Amino acid sequence: MLRNINQPLLCNGTRLAVKKLMNNVIEAKIIKGKYKGEDVLIPRIPMFPTDLPFDFRRLQFPVRLAFVITINKSQGQSLKICGINLEFPCFAHGRIRNYTSRVREWENHHIYTLQKKRQKI
């Protein structure tokens, strides 16, 4: 979520899983936080870009697209940027090496842990 629409339910940064896409509304389920599991409707809202030399308005959904892939499915791929969620123990022997070999530069690895710190592997 990129905008505060219905605080505290739909705030900037809320993680959602899309259930259904329609022309003017997205039906989604909240997947993190206090309201985890609740279904919400997200309308298209007017956006006014500020980084252009002229003014205009457009209707769009205030969401950012993100993709998820399992470590097994990522074998053989090269990625520019990669993140991993270590909130729960998830690695069998040798899996962490598979994750770290997908992206060449350490600056492009993003690791989420319960401590919310970047940790070296």
State the Cα–Cα distance between residues 37 and 16, nearest whole angstrom.
9
Per residue in 14-52, pLDDT tens?
888 899 999 899 999 998 778 889 999 999 988 787 888
Q: pTM here?
A: 0.54
> Per-residue confidence at 71, pLDDT binned at 50, 70, 90?
low
DSSP, res 99: H
State the Cα–Cα distance between residues 104 and 109, nearest whole angstrom.
9
90 vs 13, more confident: 13
Per residue in 72-84, pLDDT tens?
666 777 778 787 7
Cβ atoms within 10 A of the Cβ of 114, count?
A: 8
The tokens describing 73, both together, are 């499915």
